[in-house]
Amino acid sequence: MLSSVCSFLSSARIIKVLLLGPLISLLLNMACEKDPVLQKDKETNSNYTYDPTPYEFDLPNDVPQFDVPEDNPTTEEGVELGRMLF
């Protein structure tokens, strides 16, 4: 009697896995749609185009100007991110 109950439970578990597995996979696949905002860039063949806005420093006249590196310019987006983080 006990073996028949165990057999029934294991077969019911297998049926649940076989039925729920594909259903869960289908739902997860449907949730992973392409982002319509990102469009493919033809030059770099990537899905993201970065077009930063240069940041204009508003310094008083008595503060000396400083050099901004060419390979790491200060951008509006970077300043906004820095204010959020710090």
Domain ranges of the chain: 2-85
CA–CA separation, 84 and 49 (whole Å): 23
pTM: 0.42
Q: Nearest to residue 17, comparing CAs of 9, 5, 29, 28?
A: 9
pLDDT, residue 7, reads 63
3-state secondary structure the chain: CHHHHHHHHHHHHHHHHHHHHHHHHHHHHHHCCCCCCCCCCCCCCCCCCCCCCECCCCCCCCCCCCCCCCCCCCEHHHHHHHHHHC
What is the mean pLDDT of each successive set of 10 residues along the chain, which is 86 residues long? 58 72 80 61 63 89 87 92 93
